[in-house]
Chains A and B, each alone.
Chain A
Amino acid sequence: MMSNPTTTDSNPDLQRPEFSIAHLRHVPRHYYRRWVAAGLILAAFGFIVHAFATGQIEWDVVAKFFTARAIMEGLVNTVIMTVLAMVLGITLGVVFAIMFMSPNPVLKSVACFYIWFFRGTPLLLQLLLWFNLALVFPMIGIPGVFEYRTVAVITPFMATLLGLGINQGAYTAEVVRSGILSVDIGQTEAAKAIGMTRLTTLRRIVLPQAMRVIIPPVGNEVISMVKLTSMASVIQYAEILRNAQSIYYANARVIELLIVAALWYLVVVTVLSVGQYFLEKHFAKGVGGAKERPRPVERSL
């Protein structure tokens, strides 16, 4: 409309009456359809709540078993396994990502094989393989130095930890690799130019910046791991789902105990999501909204 670029105060065109509406009130748009949608959704939600409330679920049984001893023990086992399997998975993931990107062809091939094998077979199958390792190797250790009976070493706990952790490592390796690739090559060159070795550069410069890219998918994988631990119920690891099953085999309150387990999974995942938010904030240092961040305090002076 304003074809004339010199729209200054002195432009007499702007004094014309049809332009003198600057004093009028601005009325925001109304979103009627949002209200309709919200109403429909609330109605649907109310229907679902009503269905569950009047369905054949004995909520007092849910409440009674929510903090039952076996459930609590299962919860602790689930949380411990999630933490340990993720620690193992992330450690392996970082090591194999670095090996995968190494100029050394031997290291690269090993990493390639690891990722190929453990991503290429089902997790359930891997858990069963670890649990039945004794069928392949009755004894493990270094022959002549120390040896143990495999059945004694590969408990349900060990089999679950190895199965989940090593499988997770194969996925995390790819996540870490994409994170490392996301860091500008100039960062590596600048680090080399101040006399850093390859590994110091990775540890001090590249990985901290890669974390920003790595954390959201790893957070996703931690949450996924909480639930994957339930697979260990097939190899008799006493996590929360297995313990809930043990109870309902005895008292036949199937749905009630499944609800108890589901609620606890939700609690754990919610707590973890909050943790992820703060971790992401920490590693966003120096990026994007940096200007609003408080100045860090110099530690030594």
Chain B
Amino acid sequence: MSTPPMVVAVNVHKYFGSLCALKNVSIDVAKGEVLCVIGPSGSGKSTFLRCINQLEKTDQGAIWIDGELAGFRRVGDALYELSDKDIALQRITIGMVFQRFNLFGHMTALENIIEGPITAQKRPRAEAVEEALTLLNRVGLSAKRDAYPAQLSGGQQQRVAIARALAMRPKLMLFDEPTSALDPELVGEVLAAMRDLAQSGMTMVVVTHELGFAREVASRVVFMDEGAIVESGSPQEILVRPQHPRTKDFIAAVLK
């Protein structure tokens, strides 16, 4: 392999008690690719995203990030769970944006962005601040550097959250329904920031209900239902000419 894919997931299973949240999910995401995952709620798409970042532990199967086995170390025939510290180190290269933003409530926008670089990456404060200001400018929020999350609109909070994730200089960005908690008129500004990011060549996995965004930005779309991948293909194939009846039903229901 000359350039290994950014994400490789092979036969991933995840159970919550007796509920099978992910059934044998296998997929790979090439570097620079924008993969959109769509599907009804409860289909396992968010769970899959959280498994990539090890916020959920996979029960079977394995995930590699940029060629590195995530969450485990292989010794002979066994996979040994990594320590809290090693998992934290692996997460540093993966940015994540949440549905509910999850900005740190006791920190200003700027403090939110420099927290990771300073605390987790041990970078000098001055450098982190300088880079954070560039990122705030990039998401159009330079004026809000000293605002606390409670003083920002949902769209502004989500854009700060994107800047916070980017401050870690990630090689992969995960988006977990980033616009689902937003008022309709604020969705556009967040999608615009994501579109810019996609154009800059960032590898992205986006769980979303925004079919318009998927169609325009995604290099590939995956439809999941009941914990499994039902079909995947180009945005045209999945969104315009879906083959599977469940995909057809879902897309018809969303567009209605």
Contacts and interface: CB of A to CB of B under 8 A. Distances in A.
Nearest to A197: B88
A287 B103 CA distance: 13
A197 B164 contact: no
Contact-size category for B: 35 or more
B53 A209 contact: no
Interface string A133-172: 0000000000000000000000000000000000000000
Interface string B86-108: 00110110111010101111111
B126 A193 contact: no
B149 interface: yes
Given A186-B102, A286-B106, A193 B125 contact: no
Contact of A204 (B102, B103, B115): B115
Contact of A186 (B95, B98, B125, B168): B98
B2 interface: no
B100 A186 contact: yes
Given A285-B106, A286-B105, A189 B91 contact: no
B256 interface: no
B55 A296 contact: no
A197 B85 contact: yes
Interface in B100-122: 100, 102-108, 110, 115-116, 119-121
B84 A197 contact: yes
A35 B94 CA distance: 67
Contacts of A193: 53, 55, 91, 94-96, 98, 165
Interface in A70-95: none
A259 interface: no
Contact of B55 (A192, A295, A301): A192
B86 to A, nearest CB: 10
Given A186-B98, A194-B165, A195-B89, A296 B105 contact: no
A208 interface: yes
Nearest to A285: B106
User: 6 closest pairs, A vs B, by CB?
Assistant: A194-B116, A195-B92, A286-B148, A190-B102, A195-B120, A186-B102
Interface of A: 184, 186-187, 189-198, 200, 204-205, 208-209, 283, 285-288, 290-291, 295-296, 298, 300-301
17 contacts: A189-B98, A190-B103, A190-B104, A192-B53, A192-B88, A193-B95, A193-B165, A194-B91, A194-B120, A194-B164, A196-B116, A197-B84, A200-B119, A204-B119, A209-B104, A287-B148, A301-B129
